[in-house]
C-alpha cells in the first residue's frame, strides 16, 4: 500500500473512530527522524562557515518539523477521541517521566543545574521565566513549555466546545502569526510568538481529515513535484536570518512540506522515510532531544576546535544515543503503559 493510500486509510480510521492498523503513517516516522537529526546537527556540529548561519537554521527547521508533527498528531487524536481526561493523561505520562529523569541526571552531573531551574521546567514555564534555561544543558527545554501550554489550551477548547473546538486551531494560528509580525519576531520561544508552528500541524490534520470533501485538483506529476520543490526551497529560507518576511511563513511552509511528503507523488522518498532505522530514530527522538546538550556539557563541552569535533562530539553522540535508548525503552515505556492502563482505569472506575 502506498503512503498516500495509508494516509487516506488513516483519515478514514480517525473519522470513523474504528481501530485501524493503518492509522500509523510510516512516512511521519521519517519526518520525525529527520527533525531530530536537524536539531542535533544544528546544535552539535559545524554545518559550514559561521557567517552562513547554517547551524541555527538547521536547528530551527528541525524544531518546526517537531512542532508541526505534534500539532498534526494531537488534532487527529482529539478529532478521533475528544476525551480531555484521556488526552491529558497520555500527554503527561508521555512528557513528564522522561523529563523528571533527565532533570535528576542533570542535577547529579554537577554542572550547575539548581532546584529553581528544575522546578521552572517541571512547571512548564521556562519559555517565559528564563532562569529555567540555565545552564546550557537545559537551554532547549523551552520547547516542552510551548508543547504543554498548547496541550492545556486545546484541552480547554475541547472541554468547552467539544470537537468543534478544533476549528479554533486555524484561527489561533493566524492570530499568533499576526502577533509575530507585529512584534517583529521571526522566531521566538514565548508561546504566543511560537505556537503557530504547532497550530500549523493542526491545520494540516484538519485538511487531512476533510480532504475527501475538497474537490480534487489534478496536476501532472512534473508540476506537482515542481511545486513541492519550490515549497522545499522556501522552507529552507524560512529559518535563515536572511529569510526576511519568509520567516513568518515558516509554520505553514513546514506544514505544506509535511503534507507533500504524506500525499504527494514522491514514492521513492516516501519509502525511504518509512524504513526501520528511521522509525527507531523517531521512537527515541524525544529522549535524544532531552539529553543531547547534557552530553555536550562538562568535560565534553567546547565549540570550534578540532579536538571538539574529532573526539568530543563522537562521544557526545554515542552517549546521547545510549541515554535515549535506555530512557525510551526502560523508563518511558513502562510509565506510558502505566498512564494508559492503571491511571485511566482508576479514573474511569471512580
* Residue 292 phi, psi (nearest 5): -65, -35
- The residues, any chain, with a CB within 8 Å of residue 181's CB and separated by 6 or more, are 248
Alpha helix stretches (DSSP H) within the chain = 3-16, 26-44, 54-80, 84-108, 115-122, 142-161, 168-183, 196-210, 221-237, 250-263, 267-273, 276-283, 285-291, 306-307, 313-327, 333-338, 344-349
Q: For residue 3, is pLDDT > 50?
A: no
Residue 242 Cα distances to 45, 54, 70, 195, angstroms:
21, 11, 27, 22
The lowest-confidence range among 5-14, 180-189, 313-322, 327-336 is: 5-14
Distance CA 152, CA 215 (A): 34
Q: For residue 138, is pLDDT > 80?
A: yes
pLDDT of residue 259: 96
Mean pLDDT, residues 154-169: 97
Could you report the per-residue pLDDT of 23-56, keeping only the tens digit for each? Answer: 678 999 999 999 999 999 999 999 988 889 999 9
Read off the pTM. 0.91
The x, y and z cell numbers of residue 176, run together, are: 499568533
Sign for the pseudo-dihedral over CA of 284, 38, 306, 113: negative
Other residues' Cβ atoms within 10 Å of the Cβ of residue 231: 19
Could you report the per-residue pLDDT of 74-84, keeping only the tens digit for each? Answer: 999 999 999 99
Amino acid at each position: 500500500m502506498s503512503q498516500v493510500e495509508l494516509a487516506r486509510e488513516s483519515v478514514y480510521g480517525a473519522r470513523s473512530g474504528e481501530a485501524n492498523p493503518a492509522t500509523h503513517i510510516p512516512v511521519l516516522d521519517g519526518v520525525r527522524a529527520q527533525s531530530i537529526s536537524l536539531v542535533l546537527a544544528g546544535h552539535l556540529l559545524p554545518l559550514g562557515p559561521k557567517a552562513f548561519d547554517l547551524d541555527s537554521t538547521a536547528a530551527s527547521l528541525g524544531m518546526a518539523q517537531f512542532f508541526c508533527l505534534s500539532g498534526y498528531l494531537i488534532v487527529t487524536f482529539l478529532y478521533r477521541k475528544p476525551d480531555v481526561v484521556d488526552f491529558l493523561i497520555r500527554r503527561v505520562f508521555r512528557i513528564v517521566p522522561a523529563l523528571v529523569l533527565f532533570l535528576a541526571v542533570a542535577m547529579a552531573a554537577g554542572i550547575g543545574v539548581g532546584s529553581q531551574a528544575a522546578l521552572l521546567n517541571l512547571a512548564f514555564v521556562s519559555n517565559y521565566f528564563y532562569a529555567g534555561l540555565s545552564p546550557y544543558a537545559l537551554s532547549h527545554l523551552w520547547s516542552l513549555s510551548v508543547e504543554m501550554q498548547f496541550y492545556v489550551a486545546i484541552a480547554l477548547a475541547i472541554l468547552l466546545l467539544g470537537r468543534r473546538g478544533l476549528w479554533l486551531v486555524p484561527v489561533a494560528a493566524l492570530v499568533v502569526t499576526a502577533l509575530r509580525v507585529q512584534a517583529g519576531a521571526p522566531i521566538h520561544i514565548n508561546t504566543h510568538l511560537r505556537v503557530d508552528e504547532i497550530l500549523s500541524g493542526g491545520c494540516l490534520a484538519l485538511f487531512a481529515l476533510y480532504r475527501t470533501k475538497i474537490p480534487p485538483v489534478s496536476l501532472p506529476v512534473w508540476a506537482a513535484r515542481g511545486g513541492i520543490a519550490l515549497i522545499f526551497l522556501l522552507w529552507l529560507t524560512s529559518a535563515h536570518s536572511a529569510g526576511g518576511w519568509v520567516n513568518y511563513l515558516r509554520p505553514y511552509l513546514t506544514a505544506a512540506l509535511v503534507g507533500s511528503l504524506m500525499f504527494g507523488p514522491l514514492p521513492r522518498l516516501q519509502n525511504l522515510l518509512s524504513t526501520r532505522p528511521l522509525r527507531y530514530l523517531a521512537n527515541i527522538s524525544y529522549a535524544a532531544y532531552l539529553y543531547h546538550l547534557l552530553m555536550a556539557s562538562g568535560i565534553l563541552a567546547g565549540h570550534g576546535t578540532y579536538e571538539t569535533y574529532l573526539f568530543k562530539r563522537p562521544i557526545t553522540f554515542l552517549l546521547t544515543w545510549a541515554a535515549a535508548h535506555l530512557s525510551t525503552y526502560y523508563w518511558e515505556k513502562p510509565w506510558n503503559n502505566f498512564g494508559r492502563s492503571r491511571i485511566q482505569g482508576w479514573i474511569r472506575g471512580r
